Amino acid sequence: DKEYDFLIVGSGLYGCVFAHEATRRGKRCLIIDKRKHTGGNIRCEEVEGINVHQYGAHIFHTNDKGIWDYVNSFVEFNRYTNSPVANYKGEFYNLPFNMNTFYQLWKVKTPAEAMEKIKSQVEASKVGVPTNLHEQALSLVGTDIYEKLIKGYTEKQWGRPAEQLPAFIIKRLPMRFTFDNNYFDDKYQGVPIGGYNKLTERLLEGIEVRLETDYFADREKWDAMTDQIVFTGNIDQFYDYQFGRLEYRSLRFEHQVYDTPNHQGNAVINYTEREIPYTRTIEHKHFEFGNQPKTVVTAEYPEEWTPEKEAYYPINDARNTKIFQQYNELARQEKYTLFGGRLATYKYYDMHQVIASALHAVAVKFQEKPVCQQN
């Protein structure tokens, strides 16, 4: 008999949910993580009494009541509503694109006027079938919105001119013809009261965790200790990069403390011009309506990814998709290893999706009826 029923590699949201659910079903679980902390990319660090999102701004949103009730059973969520503001060359515009934005751009006052303006700009741009992101965006929203609010931001995000980016990156550009600055359409959204660490700590209650422990540093030892592995690390590394490396975009965060209670007046400001090297600045206290005397603001710089950097966004182009499919074929044949989460499935997941997929995996593993639909 092995020491553990499950070894879970990675204490991100996927690993936490899986370990919690397996433990609840009487299984012996051990979680290892190579980082110094649990929580993966949703980890917060307290600075000046403020929860600072270490790996990028995280706002929880979902349409799935089952998922919302699930997270709220561990920690209560506040009523934070994401309403980013765009700064383009010193002018401010509300996001997502809505009647406030259209008024700020053109002084139009009715939905009919706004629709007319957009329609005429789309027609004037004379794009046939879009062959790249530049044409795709123009054909969806016309010149002004594209030039001021999309082009520079997207080029910074992906590190190349819009004309050289594939059209599929932008499938839709939602526009709202009401004066509503709520970024997400989902029924439920918010941020955990007291921060995301509360959520992961409650999920991990009573579960053995070993930090600064890399699975690959002693793979045989870990394999010998357990019947089954739940792997949430990089799938290409699991298979010794035999089909090549999967590529990512990376990010660099610069945190700054200001000796003022309110620096930018909003949690998220997007910088949509190309010339400013960061894409957004995050004033963390506003996620929790904080009234601390100081404030922390983080600038987010997109970067080229190299293997020693943090892997943030998968690049789901033809080359990488093909490589991933080869790894995934091997993964599907594994009897004792389950692959989950964003790195092992080479997929961008929002938090509610990663939770849904972990709960789904639990249901399959324990042959139960799935509790939540995946969305």
The catalytic residues are: 172, 176, 249, 280, 300, 348, 350
> Taking the complex as a whole, how short is the minimal distance between the CB of residue 203 and ligand FDA, in angstroms?
11
227 vs 350 by CB, closer to ligand FDA: 350
Query: For residue 116, what are its two tokens?
Result: 């007319």
> Taking the complex as a whole, how short is the minimal distance between the CB of residue 95 and ligand FDA, in angstroms?
14
> Taking the complex as a whole, how short is the minimal distance between the CB of residue 288 and ligand FDA, in angstroms?
14
Query: For residue 249, what are its two tokens?
Result: 């975009």
Integer angstrom CA distances of residue 374 from 66, 131, 355, 360: 10, 32, 9, 8
**Which H helix or E strand runs over 225?**
helix 219-225
Integer angstrom CA distances of residue 274 from 136, 280, 312: 19, 12, 21
114 vs 351 by CB, closer to ligand FDA: 351
**Which H helix or E strand runs over 189?**
strand 188-190
71 vs 140 by CB, closer to ligand FDA: 71
Chain residues in the site for ligand FDA (CB under 6 A): 9-15, 32-35, 40-42, 56-60, 214-216, 232-233, 251, 312, 341-343, 349-352, 354
Say if CB 239 and CB 346 are below 8 A apart.
no
103 vs 253 by CB, closer to ligand FDA: 253
Phi, psi of 69 (to 5 degrees): -65, -35
Nearest in space to 331 (alpha carbons), one of 238, 224, 221: 238
> Phi-psi category of 269—alpha, beta or left, where left has phi over 0 and alpha has psi -120 to 50?
beta
105 vs 361 by CB, closer to ligand FDA: 361
Burial track 44-67 (b if 16+ CB lie within 10 A, e otherwise):
beebbebbbbbbebbbbbbebeeb
> Taking the complex as a whole, how short is the minimal distance between the CB of residue 239 and ligand FDA, in angstroms?
13
Say if CB 323 and CB 235 are below 8 A apart.
no
> Taking the complex as a whole, how short is the minimal distance between the CB of residue 25 and ligand FDA, in angstroms?
20
